[in-house]
């Protein structure tokens, strides 16, 4: 009898991702929109015995499945984990509730979570602030078009200090 591994095997994560993609609404829509035919040669999908034609939905640019698996291990499976009751768990997420509106807008628009590392849009270093391009005092808004993630140095430069 074999012992269970202490962590989830990488292949199991990859299989789960593949299954998610194969049964996704997005994949079904892509097949339907293409009339269930190959975009390059026009051949139709078929399940007729002896004449089977399977279609794959191609991603452009191609998907880096290994990179996605790495990200899942880095951000989900290999992060510190400990059980909390619902109330305590919600209290750990109070930070995001107390964020300023413009920070919430930015994070929501780009699908960032509170644990994600956001990079400076000017230099690529770790961002520490979501900056208003046009200050609110001068008529700027909290709309995404007026927001930019900046590191400490670039934020200081943006304020002319």
The answer to whether the pTM exceeds 0.95 is no
At residue 130, what are phi and psi to the nearest 5 degrees?
-100, 115
Question: CA 131, CA 151: separation in Å to the nearest integer?
Answer: 10
Q: What is the pLDDT of residues 59-111, one digit of tens each?
A: 888 888 888 898 888 878 887 778 888 887 776 666 656 678 888 888 888 88
Both tokens assigned to 111: 């699908």
Q: What is the pLDDT of residues 25-62, one digit of tens each?
A: 999 999 999 999 999 999 999 999 999 999 999 988 88
Residues whose CB is less than 8 angstroms from the CB of residue 123 and which lie 6 or more positions away in sequence, other chains included: 151, 153, 154
Q: Are 114 and 96 in contact (CB under 8 A)?
A: yes
């Amino acid at each position: 009898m074999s012992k269970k591994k202490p962590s989830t095997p990488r292949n199991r994560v990859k299989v789960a991702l593949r299954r998610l993609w194969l049964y996704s609404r997005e994949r079904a829509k892509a097949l339907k929109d293409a009339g269930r035919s190959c975009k390059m040669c026009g051949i139709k999908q078929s399940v007729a015995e002896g004449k089977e034609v399977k279609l794959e939905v191609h991603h452009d640019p191609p998907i880096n499945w290994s990179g996605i698996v790495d990200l899942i291990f880095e951000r989900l499976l290999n992060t510190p984990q400990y059980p909390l009751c619902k109330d305590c768990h919600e209290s750990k997420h109070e930070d995001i509730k107390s964020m300023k509106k413009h920070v919430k807008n930015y994070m929501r628009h780009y699908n960032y979570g509170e644990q994600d590392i956001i990079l400076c849009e000017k230099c690529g270093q770790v961002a520490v602030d979501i900056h208003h391009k046009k200050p609110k005092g001068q008529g700027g808004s909290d709309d995404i078009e007026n927001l930019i993630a900046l590191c400490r140095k670039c934020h200081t430069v943006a304020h002319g200090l």
